[in-house]
Amino acid sequence: MENILLDVRGLKTYFHISLGVVRAVDGVNLCVSKGEAVGLVGESGCGKTMTAHSIMKLVPSPPGFIEEGEIWFRNTDLLRLGEQEMRKFRGREVSMVFQDPMTYLNPVMKVGKQIAEVLVSPTRDRTVIKLLESVGIPDPLKVADQYPHELSGGMRQRVLIAIAMANDPPLLIADEPTTALDVTIQAQILDLIKTIKTEKGTSLLLITHDLGIVAEMCDRVYVMYAGKIVESGDVFSIFEEPLHPYAQGLLRSSLSIAEFRENLETIEGTVPNLLDPPSGCRFHPRCPMAMSVCKEKEPSLIQEKPGHEVSCWLYEKDGRDRNHS
Ligand SMILES: Nc1ncnc2c1ncn2[C@@H]1O[C@H](COP(=O)(O)OP(=O)(O)O)[C@@H](O)[C@H]1O
Ligand code: SF4
Ligand SMILES: [Mg+2]
């Protein structure tokens, strides 16, 4: 257990809007061990970003509130820390990179200064250049003296990674870090993250809708659907034998994985509105395997194989019996 760095338990993050309550994250459990790369995968709107923002305590509030749960980082429950303590925590213990670096970077401050601002180290100027070098920026002296808008998307993402890694945090959360980039640049940024992970032993929580990226980067994966974790396990067993019909659908519809398969399929329908999610198993309106029990009762997360958990009535003895009765 002492190997566990991040342990999220029963996390619920809701948005209170005029139409009602959006259950964006609805009872999520997940953990990341030291040096481990963990994927969080699911279609857009499933609650991945809000899970990450909850961990960083960056949920826009109001209307968003963490309603329940615990977020343990080593021996500290982050939900018990005040904002001042959280500020020290962010960047030193956990850092985050985002899909769009421009929303994070200050448009009117030169890149070098933005990196220097987050550094705790006294030898700032030298460290800034070293950091830019370490994220593969070819002309660090020049880039340090530029504004974010003067850089390409890929370079901006490198700068954001430099800022995230400035104080060597043990955990990096990357939320769709390459989604906005074209394919070649995407591969370069993923390579960079991989190198950082190998060289520094940084743990990684990688959020993506792309199972191909998970296959390439991660040791373990959580599949998220409509605010809940529906399957988790090591990458090998989930790719070899996905258990949840949603995970099976994701795999069949993954472009990068379909290259190796006969045909590409899509999952019919869309992610439900989390204001009023479907009863029972939230996937039932889209599930080709749905049974009568699926509409009525929510399946629990059960361990189907060592380290491989799934939440689906197909794997609950009780569910199969009921359906046949
Ligand atoms: N500020 C907000 N107000 C209301 N609902 C929100 C807000 N931000 C996110 N949500 C809702 O939370 C759910 C999860 O969003 P998000 O975590 O961004 O999903 P993902 O990252 O998986 O695409 C969505 O249904 C979204 O509409
Ligand atoms: S519980 Fe039922 S509806 Fe949900 S994924 Fe399993 S079979 Fe499909
Ligand atoms: Mg997102």
Interval 143-188: pLDDT, tens = 999 999 999 999 999 999 999 999 999 999 999 999 888 989 999 9
Instruction: Kindly state the average pLDDT of the residues 35-56.
Output: 97
Instruction: Kindly state the average pLDDT of the residues 58-64.
Output: 94
What is the per-residue pLDDT for 325? 40
What is the per-residue pLDDT for 324? 46
Structure tokens at 39: 């994927």
Query: To test the ligand 2 pocket, which listed residue (271, 284, 310, 317) has its Cβ within 8 A of the most ligand atoms?
Result: 284
**CA of 26 relative to ligand 1 center, distance in Å:** 12
For residue 144, is it within any domain? Answer: no
**CA of 49 relative to ligand 2 center, distance in Å:** 24
What is the per-residue pLDDT for 265? 77
For residue 279, is it within any domain? Answer: yes
Confidence band for 290, pLDDT divided at 50, 70 and 90: very high
Instruction: Kindly state the average pLDDT of the residues 50-57.
Output: 96
Is the CB–ligand 2 distance for residue 289 below 6 Å?
A: yes
Cβ-count burial of 122 within 10 angstroms (0-12 exposed, 13-18 middle, 19+ buried)?
exposed
Asked whether the predicted pLDDT for residue 272 surpasses 60, the reply is: yes
**Domain membership of residue 187 as a residue range:** 4-93+169-324
Confidence band for 317, pLDDT divided at 50, 70 and 90: confident
Is the CB–ligand 1 distance for residue 14 below 6 Å?
A: no
The total number of structural domains that make up the chain: 1
Instruction: Kindly state the average pLDDT of the residues 291-300.
Output: 96
**C-beta separation of 144 from 132 below 8 A:** yes
What is the per-residue pLDDT for 100? 87
Confidence band for 320, pLDDT divided at 50, 70 and 90: low
CATH number, domain at 40? 3.40.50.300
For residue 79, is it within any domain? Answer: yes
Enumerate the H helices of 124-234 as residue ranges: 124-134, 140-144, 153-165, 183-200, 211-217
What is the per-residue pLDDT for 258? 60
User: When comparing pLDDT for 2 and 210, which is higher?
Assistant: 210
Percentage of the residues of the chain whose pLDDT score is greater than 90: 83
For residue 254, is it within any domain? Answer: yes
The CA distance from 24 to 65, in Å, is: 10
Instruction: Kindly state the average pLDDT of the residues 282-291.
Output: 96
Interval 303-315: pLDDT, tens = 999 999 999 999 9
For residue 122, is it within any domain? Answer: no
What is the per-residue pLDDT for 253? 86
For residue 161, is it within any domain? Answer: no
Asked whether the predicted pLDDT for residue 64 surpasses 70, the reply is: yes
Is the CB–ligand 1 distance for residue 48 below 6 Å?
A: yes
At 119, give phi and psi (nearest 5°). -75, 135
The helix (run of H) or strand (run of E) holding residue 58 is: none
Lowest average pLDDT, out of 50-54, 86-90, 229-233, 251-255, goes to: 251-255
Interval 132-141: pLDDT, tens = 999 999 999 9
| Mean pLDDT rounded to a whole number for the chain | 92
For residue 108, is it within any domain? Answer: no
Q: Which residues are CB-contacts of 209 (< 8 A; sequence separation ≥ 6)?
A: 41, 42, 43, 44, 176, 179
The CA distance from 266 to 219, in Å, is: 25
Query: To test the ligand 2 pocket, which listed residue (267, 268, 271, 287) has its Cβ within 8 A of the most ligand atoms?
Result: 287
For residue 119, is it within any domain? Answer: no
What is the per-residue pLDDT for 254? 82
What is the per-residue pLDDT for 266? 83
Query: To test the ligand 2 pocket, which listed residue (224, 279, 312) has its Cβ within 8 A of the most ligand atoms?
Result: 312
